[in-house]
Structure 1
């Protein structure tokens, strides 16, 4: 990965990302960018499931560890993980060693592919919930941004019916934010308009 130097000008960013360079880079380059690639969706599902009860900063710092432990987020490979492979992953200090979360990631890989079979792609399945167009919010303060919405609740219920684990409404909303299905950059953040223009 190339070295990233955050803009040191007066550019306004969403305040939640101002902890360290990797966090700022994630905000500036990834968060809120519309995702149409299934592999990227699976990566975020694994990471957001791992985040449950923790901070995103913690997960972000272990992202490379997850990439290695979960076969570069190749869901076809993850779905085939054996109990022995799961034990191997649980001994890896470069990830969050929570058995239920790791087992959920493996289970979810199979459910993920079932959705692909039924809808053509996981991305298409998710984007159908918003008619293929991102929800463009107009928040001005972090306190206005909800932890979950009717949309995330609806998707979480559907995923649960399909057998997904560790993907409740709050985690699903984080996924919608991260993958640009919802644009939750504050309106004064320089990325708000940039992300808005990336929608298909």
Structure 2
């Protein structure tokens, strides 16, 4: 039964993934879809060198393949996925966690978290900026509208995204991190390095120490 559950979940995520691949190909973008399932395996939720030595399924292999695709001018497209686990049989790898791991390795100049909402809301207003403290925490989390922060997601919530955003801005210098809506021009503006209209996205910023 658990095997069928893994297969059914993978069918769902790959169906959505293929939909995005098709859309990008229609725009003549040379996209190559990559499923973490084929590259990664964990042991008691950890993906590290050595613990999956039998099959050599780890991030090093995935990173190497991504680098090769980029060198050949392809656009790699990854997604959150089910991966097998030696101890637990399977686990979920969220796209947010994958984003952080990829960001640490490839050091991009920006990371965009695309959601169903226009950004982080407080008192029914989109925050243009949300500050992360020097300790990596966001102490003003209580000001976020509850219906936004409590969105149900099997791999996390808006708070989980903020935790990943905090890790990125604190560990990767000069990386612009945004939470934006999928149904807006904000993504295009950011990709083209154009100005973002106020209220159309939230930039996550590390608060500078002024002491």
Q: TM-score, normalised by structure 2?
A: 0.28
State TM-score, norm by structure 1. 0.29
Task: Compare the two structures and name the one with the higher strand fraction.
Answer: 2
